[in-house]
Chains A and B, each alone.
Chain A
Amino acid sequence: MASPNSLLAATADHLARFAPFDSMAREHLLWLAERLKLAYYGKDEVLLAPDQGEIKRFYIIKQGAVQVQQAGTDDAWLELHEGEVFPLGALLGGRQAISTFKAITDVFTYELEVEDFHALFRLSPAFQDFSTRRIATLLERSQRSVQARYAATTAEQQSLRSPLSSIARRKPVTCRPGTPLKEALETIRDNRISAIVVVEDGDQPVGVFSVRDLIGRVILPGTDLATPMAQVMTPNPMSLPSTAHAFEAAMLMARHGFRHVLVADGGRLTGVISEKDLFSLQRVGVTQISAAIRAATGQEALVRAAEDIRQLGHNMMAQGVAAEQLTQILSTLNDILTRRIIELECAARDECRVAYCWLAFGSEGRLEQTLSTDQDNGLIFLVPEGETAESVRAVLLPLAERINRVLDACGFPLCKGEIMAMNPKWCLSLEEWKTVFSRWIDAGDPESLLNASIFFDFRPLLGQENLAEDLQGWLLAKTTATPRFLHQMAANALRNRPPLGVVRDFATDGEGDLANTLDLKLNGTTPFVDAARVFALASGVPATGTAARLRGAAAKMNIPTAEVEAWLSSFYFIQMLRLHGQHEEMQAGKPMDNRINPDELNDLDRRILKESFRQARKVQARLALDYKI
């Protein structure tokens, strides 16, 4: 066909408004349009049902709404609308439909014969990609659209997801371990750099010296300028491969207070990244904030740093940083802040002589903090010989209370459920924690299960980390040996169903101002988090993060990697929507929560959210299968 007539062109245009057609080549869209037939189904007419046997056609909804019902029941669990396609799974798998598809309004569909569907599958890589990796494709598109939405404000900003190779442009300036200090300082001056890398043969980096080391190591001690660099450099520098992402460099700098990170491939130095390189355009950077926290000596500076952390979160949100990295960075910075608060409160007080460890629970324990988060923490300690848990607790509680109050001032509100170290119930010795955990595991009543879902996600923050590790090891030994408890946890997790609607796309439940909204935390991320916990406790995976738990457990439980990654993509997509909602609420000066109105999402996000809830159902289905619930 030379040039398509206006009908075929208009059909291609119409399809191109929806994924995956929007990323298909124009010629393939026209190829498709030429093969489509337009059909009509009156209200309540069935388009497709399992008893119709092998699938003969691929359907694209042109207009109207189609309800999907699970075979053998009247339960509708999904609604499909304009631009949505079905039944992909059945067509690709060459099997009959699992569900019944019924028109709930007047429906017009574009229909493609099955042979043409397979031909299109071979013809169009975009279509093939969509069909096989439906969820992943949609996610990628959505992330791109988030970035595009903020493109105006962040066009010049470097993405934290770019590889270091694209950032480290300068050739690193180096010297040898035997180079005299004077010569090295001259090199630094001549090159107008702030640090020099000390390398051995084969460009193997062995140390770093920065101008900031001058005062402490050269000027004040009156070091002889003939001293070889090996004696003044910071040895054993940390490095990352050039394939690592910018955000990993940012994390490394934040954790250790470095201002430079070396880029090395196969032990050979290839570049240097300074924090300036990473955040030259950003108002508040990860490293500036962490440096400010480390330098803070009073509450005022800490409060400011906490505000900066939130601001950074919003900036990164705007940059389109993925939820996985964003929540990790936020958690890392919050960790650093909390550690500094503890250090300052401990300074020069004898209560800190006790061997204790600060524990983070809940989302902080899982490294999954969002922009709005309250405190969930506790203490674990050792009882020295000759003392009692009571007496140690009496020493630690005042300290804990001061820490909790400073955290509150820094914008981490006191926990309504009083899950805080200042609560004597959660300031316990190792033995006491074991007793409490044992009781929950053996009782299995609703309250114990709820507690388990918060406390079993614990992570040590500061202090005697081996205490936490002991507790972790003991806990996993206990849970893996108590299938009854795991069964109860699983049953409890399954009570919380993803909000897929019967009549509409989503089941919303709010009232008043919150009418037509749904809770992305309770109904969205929690099913993944709960399932991951059960899987981890059952298979002895010590990780606390949902991603690490699922990945760790999958290997032991023979769950295919692709399946786990689809779950995680969905989990992070919902996390991103949560962050996004909080971000916009903050911009509007409203209190932050986890509720959104799905009608206010764009088409693509709404469809991905639907697909993500479907993935949540799959995780739950796996849980139900494993525990025969």
Chain B
Amino acid sequence: MAFLARFFGPRLPRDPDLARRLEAWLALPEANVKDALRASRYVVVDVETTGLDLGRDRLIAIGACAVENGQAVLADSFEIVLRQDKVSSKDNILIHGIGGEAQREGVEPVEALVGFLEFLGKSPLVAFHVTFDQTMIKRAVKEYLGFEFKHPWLDLAYVMPGLMPEYARRYRALDDWSGHFRIGNFARHSALADALATAQLLLCALPLAEAKRSRHYADLMDLEKAQRWVSWSG
């Protein structure tokens, strides 16, 4: 079966240290999405890319912040810039502010992704407009680490309207919800700053979820699914 693993399983990094770290991550037990909301660790993530084309654009930076026991733990946060062989366009740089030099001097993508996975552990992920972050991270993991990154994701862009239906039609973007709760952002379009703003939105969501008898992450995933249906059917 070794040849099968070579085709479908992870392509272990050549660096033995990185290989060992990736194996350790793979061996971690999966998170239980039915643990109580305020007794779990979630990782809120945001990415910066070379553009908005899900098929062609590349991952430049990952920012992430952990929410544990109902509080955002500032030190339990992560940010990394992936080294780019080809620097992104000037317009793109103006959005996230990661300049050409910083892109060229970023961390080797393999090492950066292993670092992210280690930070993540098997904690469920949370993001705002998951499709984008998820696609970018999945593609990068596939390209550099050679496996399908399958992980629980929760999308606050659907959870929030589900929890506060009265605002569902008015609020679309992260900025709309941030504005509602007056959540500041120390550097908009920096991956970590946006991740923190999203994490604060998650903090706001928790008491609302509890009020609606959502007990755990899985309940919120159901809520998200229902809301996607509502949004889709208009």
- Write out the residue numbers on chain B whose beta carbons fall within 8 Å of the beta carbon of A504: none
Q: In the assembly, what is the distance between CA of A215 and CA of B13, in Å?
A: 101
Question: Within 8 Å of chain A (Cβ to Cβ): is B5?
Answer: no
A37 touches B72 (CB 8 A): yes
B73, B79, B182, B199: which contacts A6 (Cβ < 8 A)? B79
B203 touches A8 (CB 8 A): no
- Write out the residue numbers on chain A whose beta carbons fall within 8 Å of the beta carbon of B183: 63, 108
A35, A39, A105: which contacts B75 (Cβ < 8 A)? A35
For the A-B complex, the count of residue pairs with Cβ-Cβ distances under 8 Å equals 72
B79 touches A7 (CB 8 A): yes
A7 touches B200 (CB 8 A): no
Given contacts A38-B72, A39-B71, A106-B204, contact A7 B196 (CB under 8 A): yes
User: A374-409 interface mask toward B, CB cutoff 8 Å, 1 = contact, 0 = none?
Assistant: 000000000000000000000000000000000000
Q: Closest approach, in angstroms, between the C-beta of A299 and any C-beta of chain B?
A: 62
A40 touches B196 (CB 8 A): no
Q: In the assembly, what is the distance between CA of A36 and CA of B71, in Å?
A: 10
Question: Within 8 Å of chain B (Cβ to Cβ): is A42?
Answer: yes
A14 touches B74 (CB 8 A): no
User: A1-38 interface mask toward B, CB cutoff 8 Å, 1 = contact, 0 = none?
Assistant: 00001111011011000000000000000000111111
Q: In the assembly, what is the distance between CA of A39 and CA of B74, in Å?
A: 11
Q: Which B residue sits closest to A110, measured CB to CB?
A: B74
Question: Within 8 Å of chain A (Cβ to Cβ): is B77?
Answer: yes
Question: Within 8 Å of chain A (Cβ to Cβ): is B145?
Answer: no
A5, A14, A105: which contacts B77 (Cβ < 8 A)? A5
Given contacts A38-B203, A64-B182, A105-B182, contact A8 B75 (CB under 8 A): yes
Q: Closest approach, in angstroms, between the C-beta of B160 and any C-beta of chain A?
A: 14
Question: Within 8 Å of chain B (Cβ to Cβ): is A111?
Answer: yes
A39 touches B79 (CB 8 A): no
Interface size range on A against B: 20 to 34
B193 touches A10 (CB 8 A): yes
Within 8 A of A (CB), among B187-234: 187, 190, 192-193, 196, 199-200, 203-204, 206-207
Interface size range on B against A: 20 to 34
Given contacts A6-B193, A10-B193, A106-B204, contact A33 B182 (CB under 8 A): no
Q: Which B residue sits closest to A14, measured CB to CB?
A: B186
- Write out the residue numbers on chain B whose beta carbons fall within 8 Å of the beta carbon of A40: 200, 203-204, 206-207
- Write out the residue numbers on chain A whose beta carbons fall within 8 Å of the beta carbon of B199: 38
Question: Within 8 Å of chain A (Cβ to Cβ): is B9?
Answer: no
Question: Within 8 Å of chain A (Cβ to Cβ): is B167?
Answer: no
Q: Which B residue sits closest to A111, measured CB to CB?
A: B71
Question: Within 8 Å of chain A (Cβ to Cβ): is B65?
Answer: yes
Q: In the assembly, what is the distance between CA of A217 and CA of B231, in Å?
A: 104
Q: Which A residue sits closest to B79, measured CB to CB?
A: A5
- Write out the residue numbers on chain B whose beta carbons fall within 8 Å of the beta carbon of A34: 74-75
Given contacts A6-B192, A7-B65, A7-B192, contact A106 B181 (CB under 8 A): yes
Given contacts A6-B190, A6-B192, A10-B187, contact A108 B200 (CB under 8 A): yes
Q: In the assembly, what is the distance between CA of A540 and CA of B70, in Å?
A: 60
Given contacts A38-B72, A63-B182, A106-B181, contact A5 B192 (CB under 8 A): yes
- Write out the residue numbers on chain B whose beta carbons fall within 8 Å of the beta carbon of A36: 74-75
Q: Closest approach, in angstroms, between the C-beta of A103 and any C-beta of chain B?
A: 11
Q: Which A residue sits closest to B206, measured CB to CB?
A: A40
Q: Closest approach, in angstroms, between the C-beta of A381 and any C-beta of chain B?
A: 69
- Write out the residue numbers on chain A whose beta carbons fall within 8 Å of the beta carbon of B190: 6
Q: In the assembly, what is the distance between CA of A108 and CA of B204, in Å?
A: 9
Q: In the assembly, what is the distance between CA of A625 and CA of B72, in Å?
A: 45
B182 touches A7 (CB 8 A): no
B186 touches A37 (CB 8 A): no
Interface centre among B74, B190, B193, B196 (most CB of A within 10 A): B74
Q: In the assembly, what is the distance between CA of A244 and CA of B12, in Å?
A: 77
Q: Closest approach, in angstroms, between the C-beta of A285 and any C-beta of chain B?
A: 50
Question: Within 8 Å of chain A (Cβ to Cβ): is B184?
Answer: yes
B73 touches A39 (CB 8 A): no
| A and B contact pairs by CB, cutoff 8 A, 13 listed | A5-B78, A7-B186, A8-B74, A10-B186, A10-B187, A36-B74, A37-B73, A38-B200, A39-B71, A40-B204, A40-B206, A42-B204, A106-B181
Known: A11-B74, A33-B74, A63-B182. 6 other contacts (CB 8 A): A7-B192, A7-B196, A33-B75, A35-B75, A42-B204, A106-B204
Nearest first, the 3 closest Cβ-Cβ pairs linking A and B are A40-B203, A38-B72, A10-B186
